[in-house]
Amino acid sequence: GAVVSQHPSWVICKSGTSVKIECRSLDFQATTMFWYRQFPKQSLMLMATSNEGSKATYEQGVEKDKFLINHASLTLSTLTVTSAHPEDSSFYICSAPRTVSTEAFFGQGTRLTVV
Partner 1 sequence: GQQLNQSPQSMFIQEGEDVSMNCTSSSIFNTWLWYKQDPGEGPVLLIALYKAGELTSNGRLTAQFGITRKDSFLNISASIPSDVGIYFCAGQLEYGQNFVFGPGTRLSVLP
Minimum Å gap between C-beta 87 and partner 1 is: 20
Minimum Å gap between C-beta 66 and partner 1 is: 20
67-73 β-sheet, strand order: 4-7, 19-25, 76-81, 67-73
Three-class SS state of 114: strand
Minimum Å gap between C-beta 107 and partner 1 is: 5
Minimum Å gap between C-beta 45 and partner 1 is: 8
Which residues contribute to the site for partner 1 (CB under 8 A)? 6, 32, 34, 36, 42-46, 49, 91, 93, 95, 100-109, 111
Using the minimum distance from each CB to partner 1, give the nearer residue, 75 or 95: 95
Using the minimum distance from each CB to partner 1, give the nearer residue, 5 or 80: 5
Using the minimum distance from each CB to partner 1, give the nearer residue, 76 or 82: 76
In Å, what is the CA distance from 96 to each residue of 36, 84, 88? 11, 25, 23
> Concatenated DSSP letters for 31-99?
SEEEEEEE-TTS-EEEEEEEETTS--EEPTT--TTTEEEEEEETTEEEEEE-S--GGG-EEEEEEEESS
Using the minimum distance from each CB to partner 1, give the nearer residue, 88 or 97: 97
